[in-house]
Amino acid sequence: MRYAMAIDTRKCVGCSDCVVACQTENNVPIGFCRDWVSETVDGTYPNVSIELRSERCNHCDSSPCVRCCPTGASHFEDGGIVLVTHHKCIGCGACIQSCPYEARYSHPDGYVDKCTFCIHRVRKGEDPACVSVCPTKCMFFGDLDDPNSEIVNVLKNRKFKALAPEAGTKPQIFYLV
């Protein structure tokens, strides 16, 4: 089992519903976020294009955050989900420094926090909150090891890319282009 996400940049309108859904689902304190929207603009007027991306922890296969954690708070769960056990976290911030995606933040309660792929929902067979709320249905979540899953299907049929592949972390969020 290998959980991953594919996000269709052709359909995303950058509305940030994923961000606010994550916030209410996971009680992320206001002023912080586990996911966010990036915009890249290319070209000069009038030959301009933009790409909108909903970004979050890439739940990397080769995760520097897990490697550098001195207490074992950052760890892998089933399906490759990278999690932080809050009560084991001492808030040293080494993982924040090591992440090439700036996906982690210091929670005001003293621990490091980030996207969990909504593991509490996934275990019940639901999609993560961001995926389930997206008005454009531009996000796909699923198991890369299941050949019949929707995510495998879209990745087979569409061009895609990952962010900062040069970091060598083997990210598991794919952007359909």
Partner 1 sequence: MKTRRDFIKISALGLGATAVTAGAAKAVLGSSLFGNENENDAETLRRVATYCEVCFWKCAGWAHVTKDGNIKKITGNDDDPQCNGRLCPRGTGGVGMFSDPDRLKTPLMRVTKDGQQTYREASWDEALGFISTKMKDLKAKHGAESMALFFHGSSGNHFSNLMKAYGTTNLAAPSFAQCRGPRDVGFEATFGESVSSPEVTDIRDTKCLVLIGSHIGENMHNGQVQEMSEAIDAGAVIITVDPRLSTAASKSKYWLPIKPSTDIALLLSWIHVLIYDELYNKEYVGKYAEGFEELKNHVKLFTPEWAYGITTLKPDLIRKTAREMANASPSVIIHPGRHAAWYGDDVQRTRAIAILNALLGSWGNRGGIFFKEGIKIPEFPHPDYPKPAWSWKDLLDGKFPLANEAVTNSVIEASYPKEGKEARIKGWIVSGTNLVAAVPLKAELAKAMQSLELLVVVDTMPMEITGFADVVLPECTYLERYDDIRATAHREPTLCLRMPAVEPLNQTKPAWWIAKQLGERLGLGAYFNYKDYSEVLDWQLKQVGSSLEEMQRIGVKKSPRKTSPYIETGTDHQFKTASGKIQLYSHELAEAGFDAMPVFTQHPEPQEGFYRLIYGRAPMHTFSRTANNPNLVALMPENSVWINPQVAKIWGIKKDQYVWLKNQDGAISNFSVKVRLTERIRWDSVYIVHGFGHHHKPLRFAYGRGVNDTELITNVMMDPIMGGTGMRGNFITFLKEDPRKEIES
- Please report whether residue 52 would count as binding partner 1 according to CB under 8 A: yes
If the CB atoms of residues 19 and 103 are measured against partner 1, the closer one turns out to be 19
Q: Return left, alpha or beta for 100; rule: phi > 0 is left, psi -120 to 50 is alpha, else beta.
A: alpha
Rounded Cα gap, residues 75 and 77, in angstroms:
7
Member of 20, 92, 162, 163 binding partner 1 (CB under 8 A): 20
Contact yes or no for 171/60 (Cβ under 8 A): yes
Instruction: Enter the tokens of residue 22.
Output: 């994550």
- Please report whether residue 23 would count as binding partner 1 according to CB under 8 A: yes
Contact yes or no for 29/107 (Cβ under 8 A): yes
Of residues 105-144, those binding partner 1 (CB under 8 A): 107-109, 116, 120-121, 124, 132-138
Which positions touch partner 1 (CB under 8 A)?
Answer: 10-11, 13-17, 19-21, 23-33, 41, 43-46, 48-50, 52, 86, 107-109, 116, 120-121, 124, 132-138
